[in-house]
């Protein structure tokens, strides 16, 4: 512990020394180009000056696209290739999107992914982080293993999952790994995503992929938070006779509640933007045409938007894509504000 504190002090001193040196270099640079007044500006004005490059990039690549999408959603007959439109409508494009059957199914699919996968991922990630924190041998190795999905291409992982769950009602001899395991334990193979699949079997594959792929980042964040908890809290709890489960609920969870809150918000936002997992597992159409009960539509809201963008050369479709994107923006904004209000009462800083 002593060596760790000395190392942190040394790193802090090095950072402050480098920062001071960089400040001196910047002062000399501004004086050399006759802009020395910048170094004499008040702190708040300096902050604005240094934020200008970042704010410029945000304005170009974030704020302007949002504003432009909002504007295009009011056009009628807009064609992105010609850059012209027929007229304006206030809510016409929004009505068409909301009344479209495929959009309703996309909202339902996305909601199922968000409200099922996010809680499971957070709970499983927290439990794994607690388990990793309690072991010492090979801790770094296990952390690396759990972090691998975060740095692996999501499409590649999705293709692996599609291969693991392959098998259809017309060919139960060429089974994926999951069905082979089911056969080994004496169960009948399940048609997951092939011909003869059902809605919930196909969606369950997407959910398993989403949970597994989302664990990596959550485990690292939770583990960092747990390792930052002062051990005196646990020692005091042991003296009072608290067992491990009580220590977990009364100490660990409240102390890392800001991390849990952060993960919850980012996970909900990421869940509503689900797209690549459906493409990799189901296919570029997002539809299983030979399901057990007919066609199974597994498109998400982002998938629905991309379908319209792919046809943006046709009059009016880009406006529908923009309207759907603004609706998605509104949904995410609503849930984010709702979580922020809950977090004010539940999160301990």
Which structure tokens are listed for 316?
A: 């009016």
Return the domain boundaries, the chain: 78-346
What pLDDT is recorded for position 248?
87
What pLDDT is recorded for position 25?
75
Q: Are 185 and 249 in contact (CB under 8 A)?
A: no
Q: What is the mean pLDDT of residues 82-103?
A: 90
What pLDDT is recorded for position 1?
47
Fold observed for domain 78-346: MetI-like fold (1.10.3720)
- Helical packing angle, 301-310 and 101-133, nearest 10°: 130
Distance from the Cα of residue 101 to its chain's centroid:
26
Q: 168: which strand partners?
A: 171
| pLDDT over 90 (residue 90) | no
Secondary structure element (H or E) that encloses residue 306, with its range: helix 301-310
| pLDDT over 90 (residue 300) | yes
DSSP strands (E only) in the chain: 75-76, 87-88, 287-291, 294-297
What pLDDT is recorded for position 34?
62
Per-residue pLDDT tens over the stretch 230-281? 888 888 888 888 888 888 888 888 889 899 999 999 999 999 999 988 998 8
Per-residue pLDDT tens over the stretch 6-25? 766 777 777 777 776 776 77
Per-residue pLDDT tens over the stretch 112-148? 999 999 999 999 999 999 888 888 777 778 778 878 8
Mean pLDDT value across the chain? 85
Between the two ends of the chain, the Cα-to-Cα distance in Å is: 25
Q: Report in angstroms the alpha-carbon separations of 39 from 22, 45, 53, 273.
A: 13, 10, 17, 43
Q: Are 269 and 289 in contact (CB under 8 A)?
A: no
Secondary structure element (H or E) that encloses residue 289, with its range: strand 287-291
Q: Is 192 exposed, middle or buried (0-12, 13-18, 19+ CB in 10 A)?
A: buried
Query: Model-level pTM greater than 0.85?
Result: no
Q: Are 278 and 159 in contact (CB under 8 A)?
A: no
| pLDDT over 90 (residue 149) | no
């Amino acid at each position: 512990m002593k060596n760790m504190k000395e190392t942190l002090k040394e790193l802090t001193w090095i950072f402050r020394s480098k920062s001071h040196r960089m400040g001196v270099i910047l002062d000399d640079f501004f004086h050399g180009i006759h802009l020395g007044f910048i170094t004499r500006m008040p702190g708040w004005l300096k902050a604005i000056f240094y934020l200008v490059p970042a704010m410029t990039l945000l304005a170009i690549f974030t704020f302007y696209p949002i504003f432009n999408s909002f504007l295009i959603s009011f056009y009628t007959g807009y064609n992105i290739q010609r850059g012209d439109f027929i007229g304006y409508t206030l809510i016409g494009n929004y009505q068409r999107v909301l009344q479209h059957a495929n959009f309703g199914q996309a909202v339902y699919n996305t909601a199922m992914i968000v409200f099922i996968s996010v809680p499971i991922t957070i709970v499983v990630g927290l439990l794994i982080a607690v388990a990793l924190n309690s072991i010492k041998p090979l801790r770094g190795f296990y952390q690396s293993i759990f972090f691998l999905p975060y740095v692996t291409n999501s499409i590649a992982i999705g293709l692996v999952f599609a291969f693991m769950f392959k098998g259809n009602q017309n060919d139960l001899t060429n089974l994926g790994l999951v069905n082979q395991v089911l056969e080994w334990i004496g169960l009948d193979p399940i048609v997951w995503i092939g011909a003869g699949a059902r809605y919930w079997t196909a969606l369950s594959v997407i959910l398993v992929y989403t949970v597994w792929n989302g664990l990596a980042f959550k485990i690292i964040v939770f583990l960092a938070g747990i390792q930052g908890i002062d051990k005196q809290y646990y020692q005091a709890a042991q003296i009072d006779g608290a067992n491990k489960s009580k220590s977990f609920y009364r100490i660990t969870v409240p102390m890392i509640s800001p991390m849990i809150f952060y993960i919850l918000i980012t996970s909900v936002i990421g869940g509503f933007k689900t797209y690549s997992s459906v493409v990799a597992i189901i296919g570029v159409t997002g539809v299983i045409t030979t399901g057990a009960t007919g066609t199974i539509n597994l498109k998400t809201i982002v998938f629905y938007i991309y379908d319209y963008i792919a046809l943006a050369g046709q009059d009016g479709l880009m406006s529908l894509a923009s309207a759907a994107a603004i609706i998605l923006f509104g949904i995410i904004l609503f849930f984010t504000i709702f979580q922020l209000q809950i977090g004010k009462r539940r999160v301990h800083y």
